[in-house]
Amino acid sequence: MSAESPKNVILLPQTNQLLSLYTIIRNKETQRSDFVFYSDRIIRLLVEEGLNQLPVEPKTVSTPTGEVFEGVKFLGKICGVSIIRAGESMEQGLRDCCRSVRLGKILIQRDEETALPKLYYEKLPEDIASRYVFLLDPMLATGGSAIMATEVLLSRGVKPERIFFLNLISNPEGISNYHKKFPDIKIVTGAVDRGLNESKHIVTGLGDFGDRYYCI
Ligand code: URA
């Protein structure tokens, strides 16, 4: 898909390696320990790709061979914000790449009276407006929760171009809903699936990510 990827959708390279990881986590026979292990490998790739999007400045170092290496270093600070509960599964992958990274959390649940997403809890780093933010939620289905979470980030002063929404599986409807509201926010995804079924689950999909990662 990468050649014709919509603007601001960054799809991980669809290598055989990545495909083999998705084959394991999509398989309904896969047991929880394998689901966690192989999801974590994909999460790590998503985080690395998110980091790849951040600006750098030149940095020159001397090597033990007496040579000079013209390299780069990252500019700015980052933080992660997970959408509870499934998004918390992506926190460790971020920590593995960014030691002592700050992490915020947002809880959004469906209001049983209105059937609309409702914000129940938010705890974000004080200085979040000065950071690059990785918004973490493994499944971009309708985009309702991600849209609400992003509104919270914007209300705290985070600029759209500093937000990166990382997910394992997305779909065209969710991407379009999200980008109608936030065209300048980059979505980093490992797979763009066919669509949503009548229960608003992603198809082809993998079922309920949070249940498979934490419970089943
Ligand atoms: N959340 C999930 O865990 N799975 C889906 O298919 C959609 C949303």
User: pLDDT digit string (tens) for 34-44?
Assistant: 999 999 999 99
Predicted ipTM of the assembly:
0.94
pLDDT at 103 over 60: yes
Q: Identify whether 110 is a catalytic site residue.
A: yes
What structural domains does the chain harbor?
9-214 (3.40.50.2020)
Ligand 1 atom nearest to 205, measured from its CA: 6
- Residue of 23, 110, 184, 194 with catalytic role: 110
Average pLDDT over residues 146-158: 98
Structure confidence at residue 4 as a pLDDT band (50, 70, 90): low
Mean pLDDT of the chain: 96
Catalytic residue check, 32: no
Mean pLDDT of 58-74: 98
Looking at per-residue pLDDT, the higher value among 15 and 6 belongs to 15
Q: Rounded to an integer, what distance in angstroms lies between the CA atom of residue 216 and that of residue 35? A: 10
**Rounded to whole angstroms, how far apart are CA atoms 191 and 121?**
29
Residue 95 pairs in a beta bridge with none
- In this predicted model, what pLDDT tens digit does every residue of 161-196 receive, in sequence order? 999 999 999 999 999 999 999 999 999 999 999 999
- DSSP codes joined into one string, 107-157: EEEE-TTT-SEEEEEEE--TTGGGEEEEEE-SB-SSSHHHHHHHHHHHHTT
pLDDT at 89 over 90: yes
Residue 111 has pLDDT above 90, yes or no: no
Would you state the pLDDT for residue 3? 52
- 184 labelled catalytic: no
Percent of the chain with pLDDT over 90: 93
- Is pLDDT at 78 greater than 70 in this prediction? yes
For range 69-90, the mean pLDDT: 97
Tell how far the Cα of 73 is from the centroid of ligand 1, in angstroms: 36
Residue whose CA is at the smallest distance from ligand 1 atom 3: 208
208 is catalytic: yes
The answer on pLDDT for 2 being more than 70 is no
Identify whether the C-beta of residue 111 lies closer than 8 Å to the C-beta of residue 131: no
Best of 177, 208, 214, 216 to mutate for ligand 1, by most ligand atoms within 8 A of CB?
Answer: 208
Chain centre to alpha carbon of residue 104:
14
Closest ligand 1 atom, residue 203 Cα = 6
Global pTM reads 0.95
Pocket of ligand 1 (CB under 6 A): 86, 139, 141, 201-202, 205, 208-210
Is residue 110 very low, low, confident or very high in pLDDT (cuts 50, 70, 90)? confident
Burial classification of residue 60, based on how many CB atoms lie within 10 Å of its CB (0-12 exposed, 13-18 middle, 19 or more buried):
exposed
